[in-house]
DNA sequence: CGGACTTTGTCCATAGGCTGGACAAAGAAC
DNA sequence: GTTCTTTGTCCAGCCTATGGACAAAGTCCG
């Protein structure tokens, strides 16, 4: 178990870095803004802000962009972040496809690349990762801030993938390897948690302090942003809710237990249930999650039943999360969100049924959409935090 | 919902305070220790440590206590915390009794006082609080570090009790009132969460970074210590697991729902179940939790069944906590712990049955004992953290 | 149009606090 | 007794926040 080590001492350099990140964050969140306004918002003196902005200009991260309207005195000089001052390469190592993108500081995708996995695993899969990074770095780009990788499975803070079942990776120090090979800062993180962090960071200036994002697709995983920080847990497994047991006497799960959330509420599970129900009733078997969504939207009772059952199961998980953590913003994203309102209503109903009324009243379960790029954006967000100190605590 | 405000700027004073708390913590955890050793452990220069220790001596918090053994050079001067340099008054506002104590910096109880509630609520209950504090402050004591209050119910970070059912308090700004009346720093916190923080802080030097303490008595509540900090949640309700729904078709709960954890696993619930079971079977009805524990220990199948059922229900809650948070140290404390091993085994079994094998293997469910003073110690720990900066992050 | 007032951004002297080297005191090893 | 280590303090230097002063550039009002 991780023990509390002695925290690092505080130095002047850290103080400076902290204040620099305050300025950066003001610039990032509040668009073109004057030095004086930054000083008011952050509490820093105009002197310090001036120096820090000068540093950012030196680094090519910020520039003056004209004057703003006067409020009774000298008109302010507006300073703006240069969105394309840095680029990043981030990857989403999906079930069947590896996706990569070149992003700017705003998380805007400049270029993409994909590779089909075609059953590749182990070293072959690692080769694909290099391949994608090389392809994206071959084109024109600004200085690279770092490389970000989102992957299923458990990843420690050093960037070592403890295990990722479908890629047959165990204890793969991917982070260190990529960092050494490309000589660039590298972040490797679990995909769901990366997605959660993206949802948090790109929320804009009034991001909540706490947020839980649940990604429902082939698997189910959540990321917990607590006090503005992605929470790891002791074994870097925080948010791995796919194997919470929902129906103790339910279907077997590949994890060895019965009735895990994934056996009930994941996209494959929903398809399976729809298949059996349709076969039993002798009606047409839906071939995709979209087909089920369409049928449910059209009022097909069978489809609605399947959708609602899946939603309720997820609602139980939501209830246990909100009950335990009292986090009031839950964002659900991933391919399952095409199921739309009937599904969300079931999630909300069940969550409400299982938590204190006062708590449930203030908890919002938000539809985050398919969020296909959430993982790509997530490791981007992690790089922004780690390399630029875009978010800070204290 | 709480939004991320702009974090405070960093100043030299903060840097100093941070480093001061590192020194204090070394002193607190590692007993009599030399300045040089502190410097090595914290990474601070001997110069800084010397200054900071001098400040602590100035404040009467530390003193030199002789020389240590030489390791080949000048023998180190050992410095020690003065355990009784400050005292605190802390209170545990229980169901039927208010308990208070005067504690020193080590959480050692110097004097106690209690008052029976006898149905007092509202202002009468507040009067009792004053009464207890006055009684303890009347005797001899060192300078008072602060006042700490642990209470059931939801308490915000300002020390306002949002609601506490049994005392019929709503939105009572107890913290501010006491602080103003006694002109002393005051901490008010939920009792279970205070207890959790005590369990964390008084664990000693190798306290884990994450810990969950679950208090099972008349009610059930948990406290979450995540990354060394008590986690609040958006509405200061983190850890309020007593009303997680375990049996959707179970017994009605006073909260308005059915089958909450408290209707199954709390001490009153266990007594109730034992009562009905015994009445049904026509055997002697156990009058106390201790009697049930004794019967179970003696092999009474009826009692064992009740104990195990309660344990399993708690195990479900543990599973959902560990599954979601991946926190590997769970401490269970409170009056229900007299149920002993049969109960703990049921908790562990059920938790194991419902979480990933790899996770369950490393998770320990520890018997924290009745921990009658945990709430008193908990607000003491909170005061130590808040007023002396005994624990810090970064 | 001109003077009074505001706001902005920079400059400068000051001070807080960390850094690292120097040094004496105190002990061990030979 | 000499040399080497370790400890604790002192001191000069540096980084960085602070707050006042000031010029530039506006608005507002007569």
Grade residue B358 by pLDDT with cuts at 50, 70 and 90: confident
Q: Is residue A105 part of a domain?
A: yes
Q: Is the CB of B54 under 7 A from strand C?
A: no
Q: Is residue B394 part of a domain?
A: no
Give the count of alpha carbons within 13 A of B360, CB side only. 21
pLDDT at B127 over 70: yes
Q: Is residue A243 part of a domain?
A: yes
What whole-number distance in Å separates Cα of residue A333 and Cα of residue A375?
11
How, if at all, do strands A87-93 and A144-151 pair? Answer: parallel
* Chain B contact for A312 (CB, 8 A cutoff): no
Residue whose C-alpha is closest to residue B235's, from A362, A276, A391: A362
CATH of residue A350: 3.30.420.40
Find all residues with CB under 8 Å of A175, minimum gap 6, and list them.
A149, A158, A159, A160, A186, A187, A188
B8 CA to D7 C1' distance (Å):
38
List the nucleotides on chain D closer than 7 A to a protein CB: 4-11, 15-21, 23-28
How, if at all, do strands B186-190 and B211-216 pair? Answer: unpaired
Residue with tokens 């008109």: A75
Residues from chain B that touch A8, judged by Cβ atoms under 8 A, are 43, 394
Grade residue B2 by pLDDT with cuts at 50, 70 and 90: low
* Chain B contact for A235 (CB, 8 A cutoff): yes
Same domain for A130 and A66, yes or no, is no
What whole-number distance in Å separates Cα of residue B17 and Cα of residue B394?
13
CATH of residue B36: 1.10.10.10
Pull the structure tokens for residue A109.
């995708």
Q: Is residue B8 part of a domain?
A: no
Q: Is residue A393 part of a domain?
A: no
Residue with tokens 């982070």: A175
Pull the structure tokens for residue B360.
């369950």
Same domain for A189 and A207, yes or no, is no
> What value does the mean pLDDT take over residues B130-137?
98
N-to-C CA span, chain B: 25
pLDDT at B68 over 90: yes
Same domain for B329 and B255, yes or no, is yes
A255:B320 CB<8 A:
no
Q: How many residues does chain A have?
A: 394
Q: Kindly report the nearest CA distance between residue B335 and chain A, in angstroms.
A: 22
Same domain for B254 and B381, yes or no, is no
Same domain for A220 and A293, yes or no, is yes
What whole-number distance in Å separates Cα of residue A211 and Cα of residue A221?
14
A67 CA to D19 C1' distance (Å):
26
- Searching chain A, which residue's CA lies closest to the CA of residue B228? A4
Contact A134, A173 (CB under 8 A): no
Residue whose C-alpha is closest to residue A48's, from A60, A38, A34, A57: A38
Q: What share of chain B is helix, strand, coil (3-state, %, to 5)?
A: 45, 25, 35
Which A residues, 192 through 211, put their C-beta within 8 Å of a C-beta on chain B? 206-210
Same domain for B191 and B268, yes or no, is no
Same domain for B75 and B58, yes or no, is yes
Give the count of alpha carbons within 13 A of B272, CB side only. 11
Quote the pLDDT of residue B4: 57
What would the pLDDT profile of B8-49 be if each residue is shown by its tens digit?
999 999 999 999 999 999 999 997 999 999 999 999 999 999
Same domain for A310 and A268, yes or no, is yes
Same domain for A228 and A365, yes or no, is yes
Q: How far is CA A216 from the centre of its chain?
A: 13
pLDDT at B332 over 60: yes
Per-residue HEC secondary structure of A274-293 comes to HHHHHHHHCCCCCCCHHHHH
Residue with tokens 């399947």: A306
Q: Is residue A256 part of a domain?
A: yes
* Chain A contact for B171 (CB, 8 A cutoff): no
pLDDT at B1 over 70: no
Q: Is residue A61 part of a domain?
A: yes
Q: Kindly report the nearest CA distance between residue A146 and chain B, in angstroms.
A: 23
Quote the pLDDT of residue A391: 82
The CA angle B166-B269-B261, to the nearest 5 degrees, is 85
Quote the pLDDT of residue B297: 94
What would the pLDDT profile of B286-329 be if each residue is shown by its tens digit?
889 999 999 999 999 999 999 999 999 999 999 999 999 999 99
DSSP conformational letter for A215: E
N-to-C CA span, chain A: 25
- Domain of residue A111, residue span: 87-199+375-388
Give start and end residues of each alpha helix (H) in B212-356.
Answer: 262-265, 267-281, 289-297, 301-325, 340-353
Same domain for A92 and A35, yes or no, is no
Q: Is residue A240 part of a domain?
A: yes
Same domain for A98 and A231, yes or no, is no
| Total of domains in chain A | 3
* Chain A contact for B228 (CB, 8 A cutoff): yes
Supply φ then ψ for residue A366, to 5 degrees: -100, 145
> What is the enclosing helix (H) or strand (E) of A350?
helix A340-353
Same domain for B128 and B53, yes or no, is no
Rg (CA), chain A: 23
| Residue at which a domain ends, from A46, A63, A81 | A81
Mean pLDDT score of chain B, rounded to an integer? 93
pLDDT at B393 over 80: no
What whole-number distance in Å separates Cα of residue B75 and Cα of residue B69?
6
Q: Which single residue has its CA nearest the C1' atom of nucleotide D19? A: A45
- Searching chain B, which residue's CA lies closest to the CA of residue A48? B9
For chain A, residues with pLDDT lower than 70 are: 1-4, 392-394
């Amino acid at each position: 178990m991780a023990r509390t080590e002695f925290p690092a001492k505080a130095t002047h350099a850290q103080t400076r870095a902290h204040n620099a990140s305050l300025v950066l964050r003001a610039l990032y969140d509040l668009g073109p803004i004057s030095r004086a306004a930054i000083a008011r918002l952050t509490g820093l003196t105009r002197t310090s802000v001036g120096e820090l902005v000068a540093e950012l200009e030196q680094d090519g991260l910020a520039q003056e962009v004209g004057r703003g309207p006067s409020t009774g005195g000298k008109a302010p000089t507006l300073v703006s972040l240069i969105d394309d001052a840095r680029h990043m390469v981030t990857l989403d190592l999906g079930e069947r496809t590896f996706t990569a993108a070149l992003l700017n500081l705003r998380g805007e995708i400049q270029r993409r690349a994909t590779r089909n996995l075609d059953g590749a695993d182990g070293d072959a899969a690692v080769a694909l990762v290099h391949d994608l990074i090389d392809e994206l770095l071959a084109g024109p780009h600004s200085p690279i801030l770092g490389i970000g990788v989102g992957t299923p499975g458990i990843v420690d803070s050093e960037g070592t993938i403890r295990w990722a079942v479908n890629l047959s990776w165990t204890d793969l120090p991917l982070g260190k390897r990529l960092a050494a090979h490309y000589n660039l800062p590298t972040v490797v993180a679990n995909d769901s948690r990366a997605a959660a962090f993206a949802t948090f960071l790109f929320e804009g200036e009034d991001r909540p302090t706490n947020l839980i994002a649940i990604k429902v697709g082939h698997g189910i995983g959540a990321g917990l942003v607590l006090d503005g920080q992605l929470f790891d847990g002791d074994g870097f497994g925080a948010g791995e809710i796919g194997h919470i047991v929902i129906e103790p006497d339910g279907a077997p799960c590949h994890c060895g237990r019965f009735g895990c959330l994934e056996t009930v509420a994941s996209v494959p599970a929903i398809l399976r249930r729809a298949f059996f129900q349709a076969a039993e009733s002798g009606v047409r078997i839906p071939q995709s999650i979209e087909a089920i969504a369409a049928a449910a939207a059209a009022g097909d009772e069978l489809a609605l039943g399947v959708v609602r059952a899946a939603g309720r199961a997820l609602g139980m998980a939501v209830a246990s999360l909100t009950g335990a953590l009292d986090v009031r913003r839950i964002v659900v994203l991933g391919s399952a969100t095409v199921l739309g309102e009937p599904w969300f209503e079931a999630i909300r109903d069940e969550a409400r049924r299982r938590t204190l009324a006062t708590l449930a009243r203030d908890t919002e379960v938000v539809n985050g959409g398919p969020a296909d790029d959430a993982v790509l954006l997530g490791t981007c967000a992690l790089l922004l935090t780690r390399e630029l100190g875009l978010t800070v605590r204290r």
